[in-house]
Structure 1
Amino acid sequence: MVNYEESLKILSELYGKDSYFVLATAKDNIPSQRVVDIYYEDGAFWIVTYASSRKVKELDENPNVSFCNNFTSFKAKAYNVGHPLKEENKEIRETLTKVFTPWYFAHNNEKDEHMCFVKAELISGFFHTKGKGYHINFEEKSVKEIDFAPEED
């Protein structure tokens, strides 16, 4: 059995790189989803986007979001942490420009005042690798390991 700290290392190995997830937000209790690139670090997913996008407008009103991908899911509170060139975003910007190198500057314009980073602070979730599944609670700092091997078509 892995402990909480070990499960965070596994999570970093799995998602501490450019990864795809479906992000779900909601407005007026109506959900909407879209595929986003994420990067995992220290209990949070990071997304590069624009403050004028529907997803950011929706999370500004309701920060409760969820992510899913290949039998993996997470609940989080997501926040627009501002423009990449803000001083407080300097360190994460350096990381994200490296992680998202193939597309970061090709698809983002840092001269646009609406460009932003979204930080999704993870609350709980389920992920799996190598025949094991992990129910993780970030608030309680706990994890439960189970045998898990999804069948692929």
Structure 2
Amino acid sequence: MSKYENAMKLMEERCGNGKEEVIALATISVAPNAAGNPRPSARMVCAYYEDGAFYVSTDAKKNKMLQIEKNNEVSVCGFGWYALQGTAENLGWVKDQKNAEIRAKFKKIFDWFDEVGDEDNPSSIVLRISLTEGTITDDEMKYGERLYEVDFINKTVK
């Protein structure tokens, strides 16, 4: 098995398999700092991971979505010892027919979704974070490596 396949196996074990994963999602704030420079803005969100992407249920009017509209490059990290970059995309209303499969997964994975998902609100959307690169640490060296520097686009590991 290649290093990339091992890294993806680790991600699936830690974040996938149809379970809820709490991740820190960092965006670039629309409001600059005092010197006029961009600044990061981070928050915890509930997500599920599948095939190189995290999926989040959120409201299109939230600050994170306004920030993503301006700059869709994001970073995520989690307690599973990964720090990754990616691009975020608003897939639209959660009840849109094109999101039916994702919505069904939200209902199955997020035990809170039926109560607070607000899915009848057209601003209730699916946010997809497609991973591009980052690091996954495996202190146990389960598959032989301690650190995987992953390129999700080219499907390689340094």
Q: Normalized against structure 1, the TM-score is what?
A: 0.86
* Corresponding position of 2:112: 103
Displacement, 1:49? 0.4
Q: Which amino acid aligns with 1:79?
A: E
Matched residue SS, 1:9? helix
1:17-71 deviation line (CA, Å, top 9, x unaligned): 2111111111252211101112111111111100010001110111000012244
Q: Which amino acid aligns with 1:112?
A: N
1:38 aligns with 2:47: yes
Q: Which amino acid aligns with 2:130?
A: E
Q: 1:57 aligns with which of 63, 66, 79?
A: 66
CA RMSD of superposed structures (Å)? 1.6
Displacement, 1:82? 0.6
1:77 aligns with 2:91: no
Would you say how many aligned residue pairs link Structure 1 and Structure 2?
A: 143
CA distance in 2, matches of 1:21, 1:78: 14
CA distance in 2, matches of 1:81, 1:57: 14
Q: Which amino acid aligns with 1:133?
A: L
Q: 1:18 aligns with which of 11, 17, 20?
A: 20
Give unpaired runs (5+ residues) of structure 1: 145-153
Q: 1:68 aligns with which of 55, 74, 77?
A: 77
The answer to whether the Cα contact below 8 Å between 2:7 and 2:136 also exists between their aligned partners in 1 is no
Give unpaired runs (5+ residues) of structure 2: 33-37
CA distance in 2, matches of 1:134, 1:85: 37
Displacement, 1:6? 3.2
Q: What's the % identity of the aligned pairs?
A: 32
Q: Which amino acid aligns with 1:3?
A: K
CA distance in 2, matches of 1:123, 1:56: 19
Structure 1's consecutive aligned runs of 4 or more residues displaced over 4 angstroms after TM superposition are none
1:124 aligns with 2:133: yes
Matched residue SS, 1:111? coil
Matched residue SS, 1:122? strand
